Amino acid sequence: MAKLLIADDVAIKPEAVQALNDQTAICEDVIGRYGRTNRVGSSGCELTVARLAACVMDELIQLDRHGIAELAALWNTERMHLRLSALSKTFRDEAPVQFVSLHHPKNL
């Protein structure tokens, strides 16, 4: 999204780009944690990074003059439904994904 807006001559602060890069960088850790524990969880630091990136994305959506964000959201929703459908066929008997906060005292 940011790259498309930059290509459309929209000025984006370097701090905003860094926040998005930081979010991308923690994804591998979160996915790895899910693979090891079958739970999705985030540390306090990861939650802070994710929240900042979400704020940046909200601002980028406001700058979108061509409906790119809406089209991307529709495409993403469609892709997620396809993946979830495939996963549900593969893992019907598996336990559902649990969402937890790693910085909650009961999870320490």
With beta carbons less than 8 A apart as the criterion, state whether 23 and 49 touch: yes
Report pTM.
Answer: 0.62
CA 52 – CA 63 distance, rounded (Å) = 17
14, pLDDT greater than 90: yes
CB contact at 8 A, 20 and 80: no
> Is residue 18 over pLDDT 60?
yes
What lies within 8 Å, CB to CB, of 93 at 6+ separation is none
Q: How confident is the model at residue 103 (pLDDT cuts 50, 70, 90)?
A: low
Residue pLDDT, tens place only, 37-61: 888 778 889 999 999 999 999 998 8
Residue 66 vs residue 91, higher pLDDT: 66
pLDDT at 97 over 70: no
Assess contact for 50 and 26: CB atoms under 8 A: yes
> Considering only CA atoms, which of 19, 7, 6 is closest in space to residue 58?
19
